[in-house]
């Protein structure tokens, strides 16, 4: 089975108004060629589902900056002022979830569950309007699973079956997102022959992946590179 | 927060003294990030990053950054010995099931019961929640760091938080530019006062009762 496709072929799956789930954390691990292709195709009215809205010029943030999204289901938009501005102007609806809850909602969608029970956010405004259930005397919120029409992920390596290996902290939401798309597209920096990936190292089994396209690396300047170039005060140290 | 660099570093340095050898620690963004610069000698801790690194190391030397090895703030890090990667669900599993020994988080307000408000000011643009709720609610020890008063000079330590909460009754220790205050079952307990502030100043700029069980044992930090 060969799932290797061209960017043009997979872009036909991504249409106006679709729910698009994406891997990445601050743009790290968001597939650049796919974001570029979606931009160039002119896809609009997207519902974006992912950890954050990147930076204005990095990752999924590029789609937000260009006004291609009408809704974001996410945990953080702080690094992309365009998202905040659009939220204030009313052109972007933003649904915030705690990061770990968002990860598990996506995972639940990917593993065929209806949702999760979680006590994070109990006793805060996050519980408003949500179902609750009590187990062994503890209150949990009912958080429905999340799926999407299309999921896009970044891998360092993929084989033609769609087995994926990620790149260090670029893994982040990618393995969860890869399972939760009705169609999942993986952009890989390297596509290797079937049988050449060590089965012990494969993180996402190819069964969840519908297409693999070749990547060409990132086409943006990272936030820390920009900060170094502009001579801003010391970058955050350590973790 | 309109706070000077020296003041921010002093808070970070004081927070770093809460680190104990062998702890697994998650540092928030801002002043908390600086805590890593002040780890006491002889103390080794494991840094957890919620984007999926257990065992993050210091910043790389310039020129050796790896864009795919970054912390949750998006800045390059290195790996400590014994480090591992995981996806974000596993990274939050570690937090949610109580494996994180200590977290340091920025704060907008802390109540006398240890309620934390640090994610949203109604009517103002919200950045989002990120991992703050999980960390505040689930870390074994929560250290809140902040300026003692807000830009309008109003106390940020209050009987009750006016802002929407991040988590209830979660903060164990408050470190500000003026004082170190522990949240105990009996209420807030003043432990240390930062120079040049006086006991009267700390009390008058705190909108909650401060217990001072043994006034003679208050430490005045230089």
pLDDT per residue of chain A (239 residues) written in tens, 0 to 9: 899 999 999 999 999 999 999 999 999 999 999 999 999 999 999 999 999 999 999 999 999 999 999 999 999 999 999 999 999 999 999 999 999 999 999 999 999 999 999 999 999 999 999 999 999 999 999 999 999 999 999 999 999 999 999 999 999 999 999 999 999 999 999 999 999 999 999 999 999 999 999 999 999 999 889 887 776 544 333 33
Q: Which residues of B are less than 8 Å from A88 in CB distance? A: 125
Give me the number of domains chain B comprises: 1
Compute the residue count for chain B: 222
Instruction: Work out the minimum CA distance from A73 to partner chain B, whole angstroms.
Output: 11
CB-based contact, A105 to chain B, within 8 Å: no
User: Which distant-in-sequence residues (6+ apart) come within 8 Å of A35 by Cβ?
Assistant: A22, A59, A60, A62, A63, A152
ipTM (interface pTM): 0.95
Cβ pairs A/B, distance under 8 A: 188
User: B37, A237: Cβ pair inside 8 Å?
Assistant: yes
Residues 104-123 (B) with a CB less than 8 A from some CB of A: none
Domain ranges of chain A: 7-112+147-228
Q: Which residues of B are catalytic?
A: 50
Which pLDDT score is estimated for A236? 38
Which pLDDT score is estimated for A237? 36
Give the domain CATH number at B124: 3.40.1080.10
For the A7-112+147-228 domain, the top CATH level (class) is: alpha beta
Instruction: Work out the minimum CA distance from A17 to partner chain B, whole angstroms.
Output: 24
Per-residue pLDDT tens over the stretch B10-54 = 999 999 999 999 999 999 988 999 999 999 999 999 999 999 999
Q: Are strands A164-165 and B210-211 parallel, antiparallel or unpaired?
A: unpaired
Q: Which residues of A are less than 8 Å from B102 in CB distance? A: none
Instruction: Work out the minimum CA distance from A123 to partner chain B, whole angstroms.
Output: 7
Buried b (16+ CB within 10 A) or exposed e, A128-140: eeeeeeeeeeeeb
CB-based contact, A229 to chain B, within 8 Å: no
Domain boundaries, position B203: 5-221
pTM for the model: 0.96
User: B73, A75: Cβ pair inside 8 Å?
Assistant: no
CB-based contact, A57 to chain B, within 8 Å: no
Sequential pLDDT tens for chain B (222 residues): 457 889 999 999 999 999 999 999 999 988 999 999 999 999 999 999 999 999 999 999 999 999 999 999 889 999 999 999 999 999 999 999 999 999 999 999 999 999 999 999 999 999 999 999 999 999 999 999 999 999 999 999 999 999 999 999 999 999 999 999 999 999 999 999 999 999 999 999 999 999 998 888 888 888
User: A103, B89: Cβ pair inside 8 Å?
Assistant: yes
User: What phi and psi, each to the nearest 5 degrees, are found at residue B156?
Assistant: -100, -10
**HSE on the CB side for A2, CA within 13 Å?**
6
Beta bridge partners of B24: B46
Q: What's the mean per-residue pLDDT of chain B?
A: 95
């Amino acid at each position: 089975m060969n799932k290797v496709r061209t960017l043009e072929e997979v872009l036909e799956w991504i249409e106006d108004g679709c729910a698009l789930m994406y891997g990445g954390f601050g743009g790290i691990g968001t597939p650049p060629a796919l974001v570029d292709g979606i931009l160039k195709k002119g896809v609009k009215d997207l519902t974006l589902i992912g950890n954050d809205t990147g930076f204005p010029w990095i990752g999924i943030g590029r789609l937000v900056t260009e006004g291609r999204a009408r809704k974001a289901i996410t945990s953080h938009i702080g690094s992309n002022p365009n998202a905040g501005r659009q939220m204030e102007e009313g052109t972007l609806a933003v649904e915030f979830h705690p990061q770990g809850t968002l990860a598990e909602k996506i995972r639940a969608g990917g593993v065929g569950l209806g949702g999760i029970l979680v006590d994070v956010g109990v006793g805060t405004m996050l519980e408003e309007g949500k179902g609750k259930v009590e187990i062994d005397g503890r209150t949990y919120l009912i958080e429905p699973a999340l799926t999407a029409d299309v999921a896009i992920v970044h891998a360092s390596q993929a084989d033609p079956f769609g087995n994926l290996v990620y790149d260090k902290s670029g893994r982040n939401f990618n393995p969860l997102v890869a399972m939760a798309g009705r169609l999942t597209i993986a952009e890989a920096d390297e596509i290797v022959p079937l049988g050449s990936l060590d089965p012990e190292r494969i993180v996402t089994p190819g069964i969840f992946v519908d297409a693999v396209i070749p990547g060409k690396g990132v086409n943006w300047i990272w936030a820390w590179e920009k900060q170094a170039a502009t001579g801003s005060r010391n970058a955050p140290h350590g973790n | 927060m309109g706070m000077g660099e020296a003041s921010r570093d002093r808070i970070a340095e004081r927070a770093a003294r809460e680190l104990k050898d062998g702890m697994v620690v998650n540092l928030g963004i801002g002043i908390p990030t600086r805590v890593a610069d002040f780890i006491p000698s002889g103390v080794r801790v494991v840094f957890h990053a919620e984007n999926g690194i257990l065992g993050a190391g210091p910043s790389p030397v310039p020129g050796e950054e790896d864009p795919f090895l970054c912390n949750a703030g998006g800045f390059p890090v290195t790996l400590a010995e014994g480090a591992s990667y995981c996806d974000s669900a596993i990274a939050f599993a570690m937090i949610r099931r109580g494996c994180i020994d200590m977290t340091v988080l920025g704060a907008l307000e802390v109540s006398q019961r240890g309620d934390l408000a640090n994610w949203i000011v109604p009517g103002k643009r919200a950045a989002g929640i990120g991992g703050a709720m999980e960390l505040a609610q689930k870390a074994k020890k929560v250290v809140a760091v902040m300026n003692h008063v807000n830009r309008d000079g109003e106390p940020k330590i209050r009987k009750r938080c006016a802002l929407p909460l991040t988590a209830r009754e979660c903060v164990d220790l408050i470190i500000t530019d003026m004082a170190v205050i522990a949240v105990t079952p009996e209420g807030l307990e003043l432990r240390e006062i930062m120079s040049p502030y006086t006991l009267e100043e700390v009390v008058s700029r705190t909108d909650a009762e401060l217990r001072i069980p043994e006034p003679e044992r208050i430490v005045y930090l230089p």
